[in-house]
Chain A
């Protein structure tokens, strides 16, 4: 019985300790970002590995998600004789929800896991401690550029996802199923609002970029420095990011579109 309470207490305490470490880590990153700005080379390299390499998977997924939305939306809407609103349905669901959320989930899988594995291996092979020995702060040199790259890439990737999805929906809806092209775009433009829909979608993707980069880098930095520890940390990155993205998405949606 005592053992049970002890285990419970231990796990509660260690999870709070982890939360505290991660917040402290975040503060260090934010302080470190200032030193990245005068060295754009560091950032370019990370933007390449975080952003450019995620470009293709985001574009292809966005295209197919848009096509599926076009197809399914058409079948449902044509029951009500409202095929003309297909553009609204595709664009609203992509810009408000699917764009930021799916792009962030893919980003966590593609870039987040790579970040964790990279940082975790650096720790396991004692490269981070080596840097500290040379009086180079690994947070400033290694972590901060990666964080900034994730933070910048995510909104761009989500915007690409939504835009390509809308075009995918148009190809299926207008090209294959015969919805009127003018109606597809004009209904979309007259229903979607710049501030309410587009800006809120972009805000969501910025928040997700922040959270995913933070989780990925922290899990790598906090990983047990063994090969098993790194593999666990990578898994935790993907799982925790998915939870954080979906949970935050609900909260953000309720704040932005609800009357709460």
Chain B
């Protein structure tokens, strides 16, 4: 039917297509293409309440993603949530940068928005951000709304 050369060429094409597809999945579908772990530095922020924030939640500045949350732990002494984040090393942040947790859309996932300040000093590896505002918990808001209405 077909000589072995055509057959070999077709097999070669098939394997090449398959590997391209694997590569496409890695680079285009998953997050591998956008961020390597090597070019990041870690900073921390303490929140009173980190709400529905998860590991790998995005960190944005002015709506542009600059990093990801890498770890969320509880401070045992002060009972605050310690959020570690990996920031892309291309972005240098002033020391008085503030962090707030927002929700994308009404029911969307939560993310950290950073608001750079005007300080000359820059945040370095493992620095802690002091100015933070916690996640808005929808139930708390609703609860507050009802109690305020009752007191009137």
Which residue of chain A is the closest to B25 with respect to CB atoms? A198
Report if B105 contacts A (CB, 8 A). Answer: yes
Interface residue tally of chain A, by bracket?
A: 35 or more
Which residue of chain A is the closest to B108 with respect to CB atoms? A82
A44 vs B10: C-alpha distance when bound (angstroms): 10
When distances are taken between beta carbons in the complex, the residues of chain A under 8 Å from B22 are 155-156, 159, 202
A198 vs B25: C-alpha distance when bound (angstroms): 7
* Count of residues in B whose CB is under 8 Å from the partner chain: 29
A48 vs B6: C-alpha distance when bound (angstroms): 10
A48→B10 contact, CB < 8 A: yes
A159→B18 contact, CB < 8 A: yes
When distances are taken between beta carbons in the complex, the residues of chain A under 8 Å from B58 are 190
Within 8 A of A (CB), among B1-46: 4, 7-8, 10-11, 13-15, 17-19, 21-22, 24-26, 28-34
How many inter-chain contacts with C-beta < 8 Å in the A-B complex? 92
Which residue of chain B is the closest to A166 with respect to CB atoms? B29
When distances are taken between beta carbons in the complex, the residues of chain B under 8 Å from A156 are 14-15, 17-19, 21-22
Report if B144 contacts A (CB, 8 A). Answer: no
B18→A185 contact, CB < 8 A: no
Task: Identify 13 new A-B residue pairs, CB closer than 8 A, beyond the known A159-B22, A193-B30, A194-B30.
Answer: A47-B14, A48-B7, A51-B11, A51-B18, A153-B18, A155-B18, A156-B17, A156-B19, A159-B18, A164-B21, A166-B28, A166-B29, A192-B29
